[in-house]
Structure 1
Amino acid sequence: MKNFLSPEANRLAPYTPGEQPRDQQYVKLNTNESPFPPSRRVLKALSRAELLKLNLYSDPACAGLNAAIAAHYGLQSANVISGNGSDEILAFAFRAFCGTGRPVAFADVTYSFYQSQAALFGLEAKVIPLREDFTLNVDDYMDFPGTIVIANPNAPTGIAVPRKDIQRLLEADPNRVVIVDEAYVDFGGESCVPMIFRYDNLLVTQTMSKSRQLAGGRVGFGLGGEALIEALNRVKYSFNPYNVGRLALIAGTAAMEDEEYFQSCCETIRENRAWLVEELEGLGFAVLPSSANFVFARCGKISGGELYRQLKENGILVRWFDKDRIRDFVRITVGSMEQLAALADELARILEDM
């Protein structure tokens, strides 16, 4: 068969999404989705009248959504760009702020999408190992001459970096961009958004997939100084001007405006996380300190891969990464109490048989 793949495409390192099975009913704790439905305000906003407008293009400027996001954070619309999930904003950023003479740096154990984007755009990338305890020390990045990307809290570890440490990075070299991926910040991390007006080289990305229950809606956004947002829009309008669909714009705006539901869901996840950590430690697991809606844990009695397989065979999905340094761990999404109780019971059964 003829190979049509270009050399450039052949070098790619595609991101591997978490399993989304359709053949069986699982307790699904593998992709960090919210266990709660979207806000009632979202459901109300997605009216029949709006559905009848699907024959029309969406607003390329995302004006209503950007305004709602800006109002929430005390920013101006010029400080906001919305996208098809925060992954798209990250892709725009890799294209806008990395390239010839501008390498990119990120951790060895972090969101693997960064590696995929570096390969996609043919970027020079420096992978900087986390410390032995899986913490990220910003001193390891101080002398790096290019763009820095930090997931905060980190994935898959869940460990957060203090805002004052990121501030040190920003001040050390005002001529390099620092991208802080805050996909999980609402569950206990310290957001860098308040520093945007003080540092022109700070870009923060966030998503509505986790804390605002819109993983299927694909709504994310970037926050930064006007110059950074203008650069991202330059990439956006060179690639996909109508990047957020009509229904996603409506859903995202309504979700951003429902502060009470947002806070309630986040607080429940934090409470459920504390319960899960206690249960896991009681079963002999070592659990990394998490500020996210998941925990990263290992058990000395069973390998991560084997635990993942046994749980899946019994209807429970968690995430396992067959990679150096983290092969013994599994990542467990903090779900509903019913889901977590089912997980705890199954773990106890598995370990009892060993």
Structure 2
Amino acid sequence: MSSTWEEKVHKVTPYTPGEQPKALDVIKLNTNENPYPPAPAVKRAIADFDYELLRKYPDPTASGLIGVLSDTYSVPADQIFVGVGSDDVLAMSFLTFFTSGEGILFPDVTYSFYDVWAGEFRIPYETVPLKEDMSLDIDAFCRGTAGGIVIPNPNAPTGLDAGTGALEKIIKSNPQCVVIIDEAYVDFGAESVLPLIDKYDNLLVTQTFSKSRAMAGSRLGFAFGSKKLIKYLNDVKYSFNSYTIDALTQKVGIASLSDPDYFKMRCLAIINERERSKKRFRELGFDFPDSRSNFIFVHHNKVSGEELFKALRDNNIFVRHFEGERVQDFNRVTIGTPEEMDGLFDFLKKYLENK
């Protein structure tokens, strides 16, 4: 019997995004979105946008946006890559740099898109177990034989910051492959490895506008690396789609970067609320890794992670619960506004009194 077309389909287990509730009267703390609006300049850029530009293809090089990124981060323009969110940047990076057939490494508890991309692009991989305290096992990444390494810093969903010294040890130990440091959450108190890109030509640093710049809805991410790395990335990108960043997104990206004071103010507000929330969680008997991100990964001995997740959801409070042996008793809670967090803690206090 001849085979069917479906037998020839490349099948993968897809990434499961966080729930986007339709109701408005909810406390939404499940997808690590920024609780504050983008910079006021973004609103003005949208209002002033010339809709005639939609007739034409956008600048394929996003030169204006890259120029402002260059000024903002003091990195030459030819060492910057932009994509449709850092997910796009990372997917292009997997496709470009992890082609040797040798296994790549990333943590066992981490951003769950990594194994999806590895499966999609048929890249062999090995997950490196986190230590008992959920920190990275630095030495396990320093074997010098991997076909590639991906490490988010701070890690998700733990929120832990490995520190630049430990990350440099990994980079230095693996000159044979590209090392990607995914810094989606770096602006909430961690230290970036960006200064190391001129020291190690195999280092790619990815960041995003989605979290600290409150622009998850516009899909804009970027990466820094050596000139060679960025050239190879662009070669692959242009082979798929030359016009990845639309005209409006380029404009609002530039606008977002134009107000550094607003950016710092909002990041600090989230950091302060995170630290206040840690204190409140401890008072209620929760334990958690010491997050340096815009979320806290919490656990309580009196209630399972899934039970708490469902109780919160039944009361229109949305957090993120993950399956898996090491994480199933935890819930990841995005840092919201003080009012949103107070609503969460008011519910938790009453709920736990009955446990």
Aligned to 2:163: 162
CA contact (8 A) 1:182 1:206 kept: yes
* Residue 98 (str. 1) matches residue 98 (str. 2): yes
- Normalised to the residue count of structure 2, the TM-score between the two structures is 0.96
Query: 2:236 is paired with a residue of what secondary structure?
Result: helix
The yes-or-no answer on 1:73 pairing with 2:56 is no
- Report SS of the residue matched to 1:297: strand
| AA in 2 matched with 1:182 | E
Give distance in 1, aligned partners of 2:192 and 2:28. 28
Q: Aligned AA for 1:280?
A: F
Query: What does 1:339-350 align with in structure 2 at a 5 Å threshold?
Result: 339-350=340-351
Matches within 5 A, 1:135-284: 135-143=135-143, 144-284=145-285
Query: 1-side partners of 2:251 and 2:7: how far apart?
Result: 39
Q: Deviations over 1:158-182 (max 9, x none)?
A: 0011101111122223221110000
CA deviation profile, 1:259-306 (whole Å, cap 9, x unmatched): 001100000000000111100100000021001000001000100001
Map Cα deviations across residues 109-163 of structure 1 (whole Å, 9 max, x no partner).
0000001000000111111111111000221011132110000000000001110
Q: Is the 8 A contact 1:99 1:124 kept in 2?
A: no
Unmatched segments (≥5 aa) in structure 1: none
1:74-113 deviation line (CA, Å, top 9, x unaligned): 1111010111000000001100111233321101100000
Matched residue pairs, number? 352
Corresponding residue number in structure 1 for 2:39: 39
Show CA shifts across 1:175-195 (max 9, x none).
211100000000011101011
Q: Is the 8 A contact 2:28 2:318 kept in 1?
A: yes
- 1:92/1:236 contact within 8 Å kept: yes
Matched, 1:331 2:332: yes
Query: 2 CA distance for matches of 1:62 and 1:172?
Result: 34
* Maintained 8 Å contact 2:100/2:147: no
Q: Which secondary structure state, in structure 2, belongs to the residue aligned with residue 94 of structure 1?
A: helix
**Secondary structure of 2:296's aligned partner:** strand
Of 235-244 and 332-341, the range deviating more from structure 2 = 235-244
What residue ranges of structure 2 are gaps of 5+ in the alignment? none
| CA-CA distance at 1:7 after TM superposition | 4.2
- Partner of 1:105, secondary structure, is strand
Q: Alpha-carbon deviation of 1:25?
A: 2.9
State the SS of the aligned residue for 2:93: helix
CA distance in 1, matches of 2:50, 2:83: 20
The 1-side partners of 2:271 and 2:63 are apart by 32
* Stretch of structure 1 that moved more, 344-353 or 147-156: 344-353
Distance 1:55 1:61, change over 3 A: same
Distance in 1 (CA, whole Å) between partners of 2:86 and 2:5 is: 31
User: Aligned to 1:269, what secondary structure does the other structure show?
Assistant: helix
Q: Is the 8 A contact 1:106 1:148 kept in 2?
A: yes
Q: Distance in 1 between matches of 2:100 and 2:165?
A: 30
**2: CA distance between counterparts of 1:49 and 1:248?**
10
User: Which amino acid letter does the alignment assign opposite residue 177 of structure 1?
Assistant: V
1:321 counterpart residue number: 322
What is the CA-CA distance between 1:54 and the residue it aligns to?
A: 1.4
Instruction: State the percentage of identical aligned residues.
Output: 42
Contact 2:134–2:158 (CA under 8 A) maintained in structure 1:
yes
| Partner SS for 1:288 | coil
Aligned position for 1:62: 62
Provide the secondary structure at the position in 2 that maps to 1:295. strand
Q: What secondary structure, in the 3-state scheme, does the structure 2 residue paired with 1:20 have?
A: coil
Deviates more, 1:91-100 or 1:51-60: 51-60
Return closer, same or farther for 1:21/1:197 CA change in 2, 3 Å cut-off: same
Cα RMSD (Å) of the superposition?
Answer: 1.4
Check the 8 A contact 1:13/1:115 in 2, yes or no: no
Task: Quote the offset at 1:258 in angstroms.
Answer: 1.2
Partners of 2:243 and 2:274 in 1: CA distance: 37
SS of the residue corresponding to residue 54 of structure 1 reads helix
Residues 53-86 of structure 1 show CA distances to partners (whole Å, capped at 9, x for unaligned) of: 2122111101011111111111111010111000
2:53 equivalent in structure 1: 53
> Are the structure 2 counterparts of residues 6 and 60 from structure 1 closer, same or farther at C-alpha, using a change threshold of 3 Å?
farther
Change (3 A) 1:56 1:191: same
Deviation at 1:217, TM superposition (A): 0.6
Q: Contact 2:128/2:137 (CA < 8 Å) preserved in 1?
A: no
TM superposition score normalised by structure 1: 0.97
